Structure 1
């Protein structure tokens, strides 16, 4: 029982250390040209930036998560700046990747509708996974054409009335897209130590109940006093 409790304790301690190291390392994904608008057919360049150089020499995996779907693997770029081949033995044709100093860059050659989603970079360092903050890339909603009216003075009011809801919807969609990001590691780091703590409490309670039951079943092992005087056994009356 003691060995099992110690094993669970060291397991929870290692998970806590993994969580603290994951939170201490900072990774982020950013657009190289943030001012350029996102449109169909444009060339989009993303950069994975590290706060320190301890993780930049382990290579980077790029992931794409569409709306309401699981993350998809794009490619892996080594610390030497080489793109690892995929299942078919060739790097993906729609993407390019390279390394410049401590920055890993992913380029979408011609941005299409299927390339929309949240982009992440992941590093596997010392048998631990480190996730970056995601960046949403979505095409702007197509402009709605205002209905033609005879009076020209009413056109500005119709355009301003339809523009504000569209901007609000774009803001809400972008906010929801960032909230639906890859938060598996956060849930894992929170719930696993809690589950282990509950398991330890349950084991301690069962051990206490077992010890209490054993103490109740103990019997007195004292010798019974012998009849008669001076500790001598008394003879039955029929032999007197």
Structure 2
């Protein structure tokens, strides 16, 4: 995906540089409920700037960023990278200081973290990410079996090193 590195750079810059010249805009995102397979998911983005357009971005479980939609200040939507005005999978809109994104039929591929972005005076403002996962699915974590395979050998190695250190100290310290 050729746009992912550029989008990642924009996200990084937005997180590091939240505003200039004392301007403070807030962007918040929240989900209305925990999604279930095949159900509709609604996300809302709240901003204290009603005159700006809003971008929606999805980061999947592998960390890949994908542009979903741009909603202009006049509530016009552009989906994907092909200037499409409609989408079968997503719906989006704007109502006052709220913009919204709907995933029509939630699938495992839709799991991940959602962001809304706002461009005001050539400065990008980012929402904190909203993690959205199906019930019973973990984000990225280790299960118990993996924990055992990592921690047991590491604990044993530390014990052996500690034992070797104690023996070395005992052999090289002269007894008085």
State the TM bucket, normalised to the shorter chain. 0.5 to 0.7
Structure 1 ranges of 4+ moved more than 3 A? 18-24, 85-89, 173-176
Q: 2:46: which partner in 1?
A: 49
Aligned residues: 124
Determine if contact 1:61/1:75 at 8 Å carries over to the other structure: yes
1:63 aligns with 2:57: yes
1:103 paired to 2:82: no
1:76 pairs with 2:73: no
Post-superposition CA distance 1:158-212 (Å, at most 9, x none): xxxxxxxxxxxx5xx4899xxxxxxxxxxxxxxxxxxxxxxxxxxxxxxxxxxxx
SS of equivalent residue, structure 1 residue 75: strand
TM-score computed with the length of structure 2 as normaliser: 0.62
Q: Offset of 1:89 from its aligned partner?
A: 4.0
Deviation at 1:137, TM superposition (A): 0.4
Q: What value does the CA root-mean-square deviation take over the aligned residues? A: 2.6
> How far off its partner does 1:68 sit?
3.0
Q: Quote the residue 1:25 is aligned against.
A: 25
Q: 1:23 to 1:46 in 2, by over 3 A?
A: farther
CA distance in 1, matches of 2:132, 2:61: 11
Structure 1 residue 92 displacement after superposition: 2.8
Q: How does 1:1-240 map to 2 (within 5 A)?
A: 19-21=18-20, 24-31=24-31, 33-34=32-33, 37-50=34-47, 52-53=48-49, 56-90=50-84, 91-141=86-136, 170=138, 173=139
Conserved? CA contact 2:19–2:123, under 8 Å: no
Q: Is the 8 A contact 2:45 2:100 kept in 1?
A: yes
Q: Deviations over 1:47-84 (max 9, x none)?
A: 0012x23xx31100000001232311001011111112
Once residues 87 and 127 of structure 1 are traced to their aligned partners in structure 2, the CA distance between those partners, rounded to angstroms, is 21
Query: Between Structure 1 and Structure 2, which shows a larger proportion of strand residues?
Result: 2
Q: Is the 8 A contact 2:67 2:80 kept in 1?
A: no
Higher RCO (CA 8 Å, separation ≥ 6 residues): 2
Q: CA deviation at 1:102?
A: 1.0
Structure 1: tracts of 5 or more residues without a match? 1-17, 143-169, 177-240
Q: Which runs of 5+ in 2 are unaligned?
A: 1-16, 143-176
Q: Tell me the TM-score normalized by structure 1.
A: 0.46
Flag the 1:114–1:58 CA change in 2: closer, same or farther, 3 A: same
